[in-house]
Amino acid sequence: MNSATWLLLGLTLFAGAASPGPSLALVVRSALTGGRLAGLLVALAHGIGVWLYALAVVFGVAAVLLHVASLMLVVQLIGVLFLMYLGTQMIRGGLAAGADNSENLTVQTAARSHGRYVTDGFLIVFLNPKIMVFFLAVFSQFLTSEQSLQTQVAAATLAGVIDGLWYALVATLVSLGPFGASLQRHSGKIDLFFGAALWVISLWILLRLLSDGSGI
C-alpha cells in the first residue's frame, strides 16, 4: 500500500472507532467510577479485541464464521445478555450515587480488579459481531492478493492501535482536571443514561434477531 492508501485506511479506521456505541459508554463509565487506569485498561483490551478481529479478516476466519448462521446467532445472543448485564450494573451504580450512597459505591468500585476491566473491554468487542461485519465490509477493501502477509498484518495492527489510542484518549479526557471533576459530580446521572442506552440497544438487537431469524 502507498502512503495515500495508508492514510485513507487510518481515517476509515478512526471513523469506525470514534462512532458512538456501547464501547464508548463502557470506557467513560469505567474512567468515571474506577479512575483513569480503569478506563485505560478497558481501552487497551478493546484495542486488542479489535486487532484480533482484524487478524481474523486477514486470515479468512471471519468470513467463515459469518456464514455459520447458528454460531453467529449464539454469539449475538450472548452479546445481548452481556450488554444487559453492563446496563444493569450502570443503572445500579447510578441509583446508588443518586441515593447519596457514595461510600458504598466507592467500596464496590475499589473491589473491582484490574482484570475485570480488561475482561469487560475485551468482551464488549468479542461479543459484538457487528464489528466483524465492519471489518469484512470495510477493512477488507484495503486488502489485496498482491499484498504481502506482513503488510496485511500491519494493517490489522494499525486497526488495533488506532482503536486503543482513541479510547485511551477518551478515558484520559474524562478523568482530566476540571472537566473530569465536573463529570464525576454527575457520574450518577451519566451511569443512568448509559445504562438505559445499553438496555435500549440490547432490546433493539434482540427484536431484530427475533424478527428476521438470522444471526446478522
How far does CA 72 lie from the centroid of its chain? 18
Residues 216, 206: Cα–Cα separation, whole Å: 11
Task: Supply the pLDDT for residue 40.
Answer: 95
**For each successive 10 residues of the chain (216 residues), what is the average pLDDT?**
90 88 88 89 96 90 69 76 81 68 46 81 85 83 87 95 95 80 67 80 80 57
What is the biggest distance separating any 2 CA atoms in the chain, rounded to whole angstroms? 61
Q: What angle do CA 179, 180, 181 make, to 5 degrees?
A: 90
Task: Supply the pLDDT for residue 154.
Answer: 95
Task: Supply the pLDDT for residue 216.
Answer: 42
- What is the grid cell recorded at 22? 456501547
Residues 66, 68: Cα–Cα separation, whole Å: 6
Residue type, 204: W
